[in-house]
Structure 1
């Protein structure tokens, strides 16, 4: 396509396009200009040789494609009047001018093409044009819906309503794409057709994606076709599974109010219910809502025999576990075993979820002596929890709760998988003892280098200042705790037995306390020697508070 024709069509200069078609011998005048040629039409008239209406661009788009894509209705009308065959011509992507107008959201161009098609082509050709697909198997309605062009979708539905049932080569319907684009207007236009398809990829339907978009779309789809709520995708997941995993209580309530009551009991290919999905994601509010609307769903178990409480315990969602410990109707789940004999406490220990373990044990309703199918109690599994420090905290919590190990002869007990963990403890104790000694040294030396120095009477200049007093307290705590940690670590290295574990665990916790108090003492000391109105003092206080709570 020649450059002048392309630019004129792109900018919608109808008279210039006509002039280019006429060549140098045509009447290069503009009707609205009193018969006088304009500069644009004069330049076009000087163009050597007439342009052809069938010229195409590099992607084989015609001048009608360009005019439709830019929404130039007058030019579209003029081009179709000259050659109606342009309506069905496709470019290298298989797009007709109708596709181009729909993709760009040119509702007026779509309407004009529809009008011209009815006037210039036979009924069967009009049907073929409206249902025509490009190389990706998409109709014009697919493109309008994909890009969220509601007005264009309305025009296309008015042109050919039955196209709403067409699927592209991926098995996706225009309705699914309209929901994906979050265009309520496009969705409403398509829903006017009762037999429209709601199909999406992986056997999903439009409601599967609507629950992740907005409650308005969910309501529209359920009013249109309530049975969408019970449709399953490739993984046997319902839209309620999707909504529960997203945690939107409003959408969950909308689905359960309009869908059959059995919807909450449907399970996916892993046996997970919507309640499981909410528990796995830690959506406590969604879990409470599902239990309120469908209490019996609490007894659903997955293919491993695990309830939603097992799922929450494994993921460390303490708020859900806390709700279960306080709900009388859920108490039977606290000690329930899965197919491998594991209770929620077993799984929490394996996952190293200390807060869940603490919540379960502190409830007073969990039995810590239950053995799984392998004969292991939760205490036996502590050594397999993730992370060494986590394992230390778990062991301490179980020890304090008087948790039992499986019965066995004392001379057959393997102490923490042989010597591996003892070696780790020994090397860690050595390094921690060095650091704790260093902290004690720093804290001790700070007492002879007080903030603000000393006066001639040998007393601290800042004595009586509340920041100074805070420094003295924090420095004392830092020194005391670091010395205690050093003593416990040294004792543990000397003992070299399983009895050294409690002392090692206590030493780790005390050591962290010494580090925190030493850091806070530094901030307080810096704050004490600053002027009260100094802006840096306020920044220091802010940093200290943030450090304390993190």
Structure 2
């Protein structure tokens, strides 16, 4: 037995592995517990006879426990699921929940068997098995993610069987299952395209679009192929048409080939049409694409002048946990609120009038009245001065000191909020709101101080600082989405990529690609095992 197992391991023969599991000798305890009642139990499972189940349990109380102790075993729940006996399956799952995740000697769970079709299966039988499958996932949605033979989940089998009803139910019951991969790193989308299950592919595509999870379409298998590569290789023009607007059209597989290269290697009429279609969408041969720097090459080079600050920003962004983001946002919002209110109500308030902002207020009479408060010497210099209604009362020197510090605090807190907010499409509306808030703050400063050189300097410096930070952050995420297959703004990622590849190769494009690739390397090197909101 050991020699046969070693031989199967050397050959990578999965079928031989499961054959050996079925032939493995059973221990005496299991034989003693199961031999007397196993045949009757399996019969009761196929028939869905709940009464017979409990009679067997009464006769052999340890029968279910003895089955449960075996790691790989064909349980009664397998039989019930295979036969579409829904009530019996629910009853048995309630008695022994662990049965639902057990693999039989063929490497299949009960839910796998409920999904799989048999030869000459009747419509009534198929409907019963579907009902059983849906009943099982209502009890435990995570059953959709149980990995069986070749690490295939029931979701993968639903795609392979083109069972659209179960496929839709599985996706809605357990959305995380869409990210599960087989032992060849194939997603459900890979399997749908490879098996030519176009209806299942359309269901997957519709669900991914509605859930904004189209990054799954860009997953690569163990050979580096995306679903687009497979669609081109299998000459499925409709699938290529659907994927071309949703994935990176010039992604390279492990052989260094693009989808256009694969189509070009074939000589059929369909491949010729696919090649023309890809070319119109920006498809290129691999040798015409800018060369990407490999990770080991990147690590050997010295850091450029802009790499340290960019790397620091990436590191801080990745290191920041959700709790830390919340704490920073609370403090920054308090600072923005306080400084904005201070700009609207500065110390000493404003010169008052009847509401006409063009009206001049004389300070001559006020200086005599203020003499009794010991301010005669200060006001004496203002006898012949006039002030505009709505401007600050404080002297220019005091205003510079107060408003300078207040503006620095406001701008710093605003920039911190811009950096801490997650870079999502819907979050950028908050970025826009902060820009308008900054505009109103600086406009208020301009009004209450008058348009002086100092005021204009405040405004220009503040806008340059905020605009520079926001531009850098936005550009970093754009570059990341184009060159690093980022899970961010999928529509913008596809649009920018397609536009980029429509442009003929040029030095500017090559430089942009080089920078984006180095940005990707920075993110990879600085990746941390912390909670990240990107």
Q: TM-score range by the shorter chain?
A: 0.3 to 0.5
Higher RCO (CA < 8 A, seq sep 6+) = 2
TM-score (norm 2): 0.40
Larger Rg: 1
